[in-house]
Structure 1
Amino acid sequence: MNQPLSAEKYIKSRARSLKIDRCLVNADWETSRMAHVIIIRKHTNGNFTYAGYLVDLLCLGVKDTYYEFNMFQDHLEDWLDNHSEETEMIEVEYSLAHNIIFAGHDLAAEYHIPQHPDFVSTTCYLLEEDDEKIPLIEIHTGDENGLPHLIVGSENRQPVALARLKEYAGEGRYHYTILEDNPFTEDDDDFVDEEEFGEDDWDEEDGTDCIFWSKEEWESFINSLSQDNYPGFDVEISYINMCAVTRPELKKRGLDFRKMIENAGKGVDWEETAEDQTWLYGNEEKEELGKLYEQLFDNNRSRKSLKKTIEELKKGVSQWPRNPVFRNYLYNAYLLLGDKKTAEAEMHETVKLFPEYLVAKTIYAEWLLKHDRPEEVPALFNSKWYLSDLYSARKHFHINEFIHFNSAWLLYFLHIEDLCMADFYGSLLESVPDGALRELQHKLLQLLKIKRVMHVLTLIGIARSNPAEMDKLTSLLVSNSELYTKQL
């Protein structure tokens, strides 16, 4: 018996089939430039699922979002009544609500500013596809001249968004304002220009603030770091390792870290709207794969149900022989059953039949490394370091493909003990949205962190005993801050 879908999986797979009941937005959205949009859909059982989107039309796009699943009508109405007491909401056509959300989203995307991870993973699926079927309505974004205007509170300076504006808009092509107290105040006295704000005033609770530290602050941190207190300083240690180990070593090899980062992200759809390299040729096989996926990764599965799923997967392989995903699921099913020998045979067969199937390549790469055959891994990926080079005919890549590909290279470089390249690929995985990584990636990144700590503690020991080395190290950390904000 199939288990019911979780709220998140239901929304991702079926929410768009639900009828739109109402769309609401705050009455002052045009003047405040901050829109709180609510989309409500009705189930056939009379219950409701809704999502809210806080959209900053000046710069940040979808900065917050939430949802409630399968609510009773009286609970929904009570919630709406309470919400209306705080904010005047008006009912609008779906097309306007849709255009407001995606106008903010697209403005942020223009400057590579990441959207709220829950929007990317879940609540975007409560919206219709953003295509020509939705009438285009002009929504003004940015300031009166159309320039992005980043307005932040004193406790959250949005260093990543600011770095993206500096890089993609350029100096003089954006505005940046810090509000000392309430970020929604209209009192001009509460506005502080960026030029008036010094480095010492940054909130040190944000781990990324270390990229703005002065040489003196870095020296104080280095003198206080030890083998006993380094846990909790992952960001600082990663930054030191990148500036003092990875980038200098890459430069010696004739490689440009900035260009490597750009090449690695080329074509990757961070919003998860692009499809994987599709092997699907019809809705029937897509539905069958969805059903088998639910069965395969059901936490309550038994050996009996697993064996039944394997038989169904074999039928899928026979019925859709051009689709390697069935074989990939079959490989996983044998592993879950504890039949490693048959799983490996399935893996080898998949690699042979579908040499361009990325998931099979990455699984095979892991197998090669486990069997101490690392010299065969580069050829498996045609010695290409970037997805866009390996699949040069493609223009877009799903974030899952980005994760699989870079995980394989990270595993390889950790295996051959090339910390420089391992750090590069590790930094790529650390840049993906929250919740996208699996257990394997977390294990690899944990191993990488251990190696980073070993190198950094060695560097710090040298710097403490030699003033010239301390000056050299702190100079590197300060001079590289702009590049690091780009990576973030």
Structure 2
Amino acid sequence: MAKSRKRKKGNYKVAQKFNENSFLKNQLRKLPIDNCYIISNWKESGQTTIIITRKHINDNYSAAIFYVDLLCAGVKETFFVTNKHKDEIEDFLEDDDVTCSYALVHNIIWGAVEFADEIGIKPHKDFIKTQYFLEEDTEEIEFMDIEFGKLGSPIVVIDNENKNYDVIKILDKTIGKENYKILNIDEEFGFLDELPLEYEELGFDSKKEMMDELLSNNSEKEIDEYFEVFFEMFEEEKNIDIKNIPENYEPITIVRIIETIYFIAISPKKVDEQGFQELFAQLFFDDIPDSPFDIPDEKITYEPIDLGINKTEEEEEAHLQLLNKMNSKRRRLDKSILKQISLFPDNPVFKAMYYKWLYEKGKMVKIKKSIDDDYKKHPDYLFMKLYYGEFLIDEKRFDKIYEIFENKTRLDELYPERVLFHITEYVGFCQFHIDFNIAIGKIETAVQYYDSLTKYHVDGNEELMAYIANKVLKAKSEFLSSVNLK
């Protein structure tokens, strides 16, 4: 019988199969980020392709490609390639792709994912893999304030071939038809017809065209003459840089056109050419009129007020830290606020800060889940009352608003026992009543609150004041589009 021969043991290396998941989770983030690319007009289009590359020690590259919808759906599609020559990576680039900072693409991708998640839309299934091309979303990455949606509302972009019915179905269920807009990019007009615009972002000629369109239903000869006089008087002003104007001077913009025509519209008298000039001069140069909602100057302070809400030093310190974080617009701020809410559940300050953050991010679904109960726990705290009131405006529960504000229209009437109010309390109170009166169609009352508000200067709130002014102007312009100026 032949003897069996034993195989000699040797040091044989078995070729390891490439483990994709292990590479992505354990090795990829150890590779340095090389270049990042984005479409040059990503802001205007609201949609973009993003490419992130990481460099291997052998001079090859791995890359992830993301198709991102900043207006609604987040990461719509994504895939990756590994260990490719640079030429192969560059094949993915288009003519309108430009290099950009990693911080920018980080903020766009994570922000879009977060925005979409809040309205019930999950990222593409392969994002579970390509997310590892990104750094973890921590405060170590510079925060950038990027707009998702438009003015806080999702925009579903469709065309004649892709109607995005799946996205619309989700939004109908999660936030309701009234809380999003649909934009067909194959139609003749785009955002100008679908969305409200920031007036200050338009050029002078565009503003004139917009005003002409606004008054198209009222294009009587005398209105055209008013415009002609206006532009003859102030044509030389049109090139003034709005962002760098002399102190106490305002350039001639759509703001004053709207205000002048608005006052003509509500005036019981016919305004002739001379009257137009006089009215314009009065609106432009006169002091702000008194408002029935003014409170005495001595009741407004810019100094901190101790209302006894922060009961301990720990609460006061946490409050100040969160204020600093909010001012610096830190990412993932909600986690920091929620931590303080868990530590100090009876303190309404932290809950109000949380709702402020939710409103700024347009997270209406989260607000709706808890604000009724939180207001019931803290009905006397002004900022909780204000954020609850804003929620009621969105819900069109106007009778409830009269109830929680006890039919009081002035801050010192709502809190008669107080002798001082911080300027931020006054700003918040006026802002709410501007929103409320616009919502119920009382434009003149909203204007009076705005006039009252503009008498005070609030450092660091220029953005807020511009936002409020824009709301008032938009309400005026909508009013103008519905009246006959004969």
Using the size of structure 1 for normalisation, the TM-score is: 0.39
Higher helix share: 1
Using the size of structure 2 for normalisation, the TM-score is: 0.39
- Structure whose alpha-carbon radius of gyration is higher: 2
